Amino acid sequence: MSEVLRTDSFFNESLVGLFGPAQIVKSHEASAGKSFLPRVHVVPYGTTEIPKKAPVIESNTADRYTAHGDILLLDGKGNGRVILSQTANSNTVLVTEQCDNLCKFCSQPPKTRDDSILFAFAAQALIAFNSQDFVGITGGEPLLNRALFLQFLDTLKRADCHTPLHLLTNGRAFHDLSFVKEFKDALHNRDLICGIPLYGTNSAIHDDLVGEPGAWSETIDGLINAGNHGLPIEIRVIPTKRNVEQLSSIVKLALESISSISSISIMNLEQEGWAKRHWDELYIPPYQYVKMLEQTLKLQHRYKIPIRLFNYPLCHLPQHLRQYACKSISDWKAIYEEECLSCSLKSDCGGFFVSQKHKWTNPTMRII
């Protein structure tokens, strides 16, 4: 055990020199449909009828974890990563690595280089994949380059791609009312949910955690503006040592002052990226704030808005709170430890982040 649930990255010599999105073709289905993207054939090892036209990935692992029509992103050096998968538990595309926040627990620390081509890759990938299910749009900060994001939405519309989107944004761009209006117009009735993190009831804690003075104020304004324009909002809160005492107050503030909230997500910290560096300063084990979780989860009954727990192994929660936990860890970074094999809760449990493998802060706790 201790392997991710879905292997998503592959190397193959035949991919060297290919850059950007490509669509997977399974040999026996090669005649089915056409794609405007370059095609990559995936066949099991030892296949006798290997398509003559390269590129071909001959691999049992790649064959097992991919489906006809999945989208690979190629780096030109022979590496491919499946970014849109029909068998994944969720799909997300990265549109930029740039960000105007510098969160202490950022799992994917931002870069400053021009990466606007990622928007083009994301649009091509979404159009070719054409999912009817929600696909996540993530960064960096996807709304940092507002014009590019509007162009991205326009490209999808012109290609008749109606894929519903879950946009993970810090919400700061929405403090500009005129942008909110442009954004709303550019949606053209597309289903879109904004996942927006709020880490404090005031600027001191939030701004410290996101590493940017003034961020809280812009995020709050952005949340109010987005809500008032009817954009569905998922509020995200990560409990840390810095803000855990405010957890229920943050959720209450959001529920009482922001319109159009569709759900609240309480998210367990991931030990990845900059969070590793700040782990001791920030991480607090769930058993130390059970009372606060109880108090926060009770709010959903008063406000009739669902509050869910993300990224919590079920054995890290007391029994009465497990009903609120989601199997939320993406399958390409989710693992179960050896102890999970005999666990009676495994089928309902999302397991651990692979980055937390064997870490002393996250042992399994035996469930009978």
Size of the site for ligand SF4 (CB under 6 A): 13
Q: Does 312 bind ligand SF4 (CB under 6 A)?
A: no
Give me the least distance between CB of 332 and ligand SF4, in Å please: 18
Binding residue (CB under 6 A) for ligand SF4 from 105, 121, 310, 336: 336
Specify the stretch interacting with ligand SF4 by CB under 6 A; choose among 163-171, 200-208, 276-284, 332-340.
332-340
Would you say 67 or 367 has its CB closer to ligand SF4? 367
Q: Residue 25 and residue 142: Cα distance in Å, rounded?
A: 30
Could you tell me if 124 and 135 are in contact, meaning their C-beta atoms sit under 8 angstroms apart?
no
Residues facing residue 335 across a β-bridge:
352
Q: Residue 341 and residue 134: Cα distance in Å, rounded?
A: 31
Give me the least distance between CB of 279 and ligand SF4, in Å please: 19
Q: For strand 261-267 and strand 307-310, is the pairing parallel, antiparallel, or unpaired?
A: parallel
Give me the least distance between CB of 283 and ligand SF4, in Å please: 17
Q: Does 115 bind ligand SF4 (CB under 6 A)?
A: no
Give me the least distance between CB of 246 and ligand SF4, in Å please: 28
Residue with tokens 């399994």: 364
**Identity (one letter) of the amino acid at 294?**
E
Binding residue (CB under 6 A) for ligand SF4 from 119, 215, 313, 332: 313
Q: Does 22 bind ligand SF4 (CB under 6 A)?
A: no
**42 contacts: CB under 8 Å, gap ≥ 6:** 24, 25, 26, 27, 56, 57, 59, 62, 63, 66
Could you tell me if 203 and 216 are in contact, meaning their C-beta atoms sit under 8 angstroms apart?
yes
Would you say 197 or 350 has its CB closer to ligand SF4? 350
Q: How many CA atoms lie within 13 A of 24 on its CB side?
A: 27
Q: Does 157 bind ligand SF4 (CB under 6 A)?
A: no
Name the residues that contact ligand SF4, by CB under 6 A: 313-315, 336, 339-340, 343, 345-346, 349, 351, 364, 367
